[in-house]
Amino acid sequence: MRNIHVNQCGYRPWDKKVFVCRGTAEEFQVINKVNNEIVLRGKMGPAVYDQSTDETVVRGDFSELKTPGEYYISVENLGDSFSFKIGNNVYEDVKDGLLKALYMQRCGTELVESHAGKWSHEICHTSKGVLYEAPEIEMEITGGWHDAGDYGRYVVPAGKAVADLLLAYEFFPEAFKNEINIPESGNNLPDILNEAKYELDWLFKMQNANNGGVYHKATTQFFCGMIMPEKDLAPIVIYPISSPATADFAATMAYAARVYEKFDKEYSRKCLEAAEKAWTWLKANPEPVLFKNPPNMNSGEYGDKSDLDERYWASAELYKTTGNTEYHEYFEAAFKELKDTNSLGWADMAGYGSITYLFTERSMVDSEVYAKVKAGFIDKARALVSISQKDGYKVTRLPEGYIWGSNMNILNNAMHLVIADILESNNAFIETAFSQWNYLLGANSLSQCYVTGYGSKPIMHPHHRPSEDDGITEPVPGLVSGGPCRALLDPAAKAHCGGKAPAKCFIDDAESYSTNEIAIYWNSPAVFVAGFVNLKMCEFKP
């Protein structure tokens, strides 16, 4: 096991360059990998105890090294780090890979070799779905993304994933000019929007044409085994309408109407009509209509305890898009009722509503409400910085925060910090956001790059059915692993992680769905953060 942990994808010349070392030491060396010459000597910072890893760690800063090249860190008696590069574009490949991974999750289409490389596979899940409540009714339901390591398609997490891509494009359009070799590349629509549109086109199919409500999910009754998607031939069931799904749909479509308007006015109009129709259903059903898995069914539930956060988000998006004061009135009332308006998780989407309101034209917003929304958003960013500063690895999670999908939460926090900095410039917000990016790419106690296909120690055995059954040694690249989960919720985690500190409760094993599954809504915030780190061109001040 390595004692010295770095961002294995590298650093830009102007980045703050920090590594973490398990143990105690006073000095370090940076060595050129090509000729093994020492290019920099430096002093370690003070030793600190990190509760999440149960380690004493020290940190070293080699920001003064700006010369492009390939290097590694060496510390006497503690060994060497993995190698890393310094260069202007060290994050570009992983940015494109994180986005391309969503193409690799496409359902209802053949992934051809010219686009998918050796991970190509046949068309899958082309049969019609049947309504759970009326099995005699069939619906055409092809398309969309496979949600995670399984082949289910779920509206609630789809809303988060699409929103993250739209935010990434709106905030950092210059970062997403590259074509990533998908079928739509070259059609004058940025590929990040092409990919989001593939999911949006499926979402349209999940809306009830008569009343505007949105079905919660389309899945088989049971999870299939570790087989390729084209081998999964079980009947697809379309499960009942839920209010969280309908509100997420309304929000996502209203947002898409704005983003796609300059590219395709007719598509934008279609999105807005669908959003308003969904809102009509929500008005007709003011009480929560929450989803629970029926008996004898074990695909993902994505259940919820409330739908107010989703309605809050939907009202913000519809107001920003239409200017209709009905939506503003709902938003203001929901803001007063909600206890937390800053979460960016699929189960609590209020933070997306707050972001939308904070970037609505100032003449449209209530100044008092705006000030309160902004204050809460900035306060959370400061709290995240405080948590990070007390953590040996500068992570924005407390020990109890290493739960299923901990990497999603870490990336969501990075998103929050980036947006907070746009609202109120603060170098600590940016530096902390970069620390989360470094953690994802190897600057963690396991020296684990939590993205397939990248870094010196990438994820090799994700809980991802195509990667397990395609006969290829390397998994599908660009997928973000869920990361450490202290609850040990699967047999593999229980067998290998018992007694370990929270941030070490991880195993790169396909059987460990609670630590090593992938999901579209874990990749999507990573795409946002990757867009940010590819554009941020400032040097950090001490």
What is the Cα–Cα distance from 272 to 249, expressed in whole angstroms? 11
Largest distance between two CA atoms of the chain = 73
The dihedrals phi and psi of 111, each to the nearest 5 degrees, come to -95, 105
Q: If we measure between CA atoms, which residue out of 378, 366, 303, 298 comes closest to residue 341?
A: 378
Q: If we measure between CA atoms, which residue out of 77, 91, 94 comes closest to residue 4?
A: 77
Q: Catalytic: which of 15, 248, 276, 508?
A: 508
Token pair for residue 495?
A: 């067998």
Residues contacting residue 301 through CB under 8 Å, at least 6 positions apart: 291, 292, 293
Sign of CA dihedral 56, 26, 31, 76: negative
Angle at alpha carbon of residue 506, lines to 502 and 507, rounded to 5° = 160
Element (DSSP H or E) covering residue 432? helix 427-440
Estimate to the nearest angstrom the gap between the alpha carbon of 522 and the chain centroid: 3
463 is catalytic: yes
Q: Which amino acid, one-letter code, is at 301? A: E
Sign of CA dihedral 81, 27, 542, 384: positive
> Helix (H, G, I), strand (E, B), or coil: what is residue 419?
helix
Four-point Cα dihedral 220, 226, 230, 232, nearest 10: -30
Burial class of residue 361 in the structure, from the number of CB atoms within 10 Å of its CB (0-12 exposed, 13-18 middle, 19+ buried): exposed
HSE-up (13 A, CA, CB side) for residue 203: 31
Q: Catalytic: which of 150, 195, 199, 421?
A: 150
Q: Which residue in this structure is represented by tokens 């079928």? A: 183
Q: If we measure between CA atoms, which residue out of 11, 13, 16 comes closest to residue 84?
A: 11
Q: Catalytic: which of 463, 464, 490, 509?
A: 463
517 is catalytic: yes
150 is catalytic: yes
Q: Which sequence positions are flagged as catalytic?
A: 150, 463, 508, 517
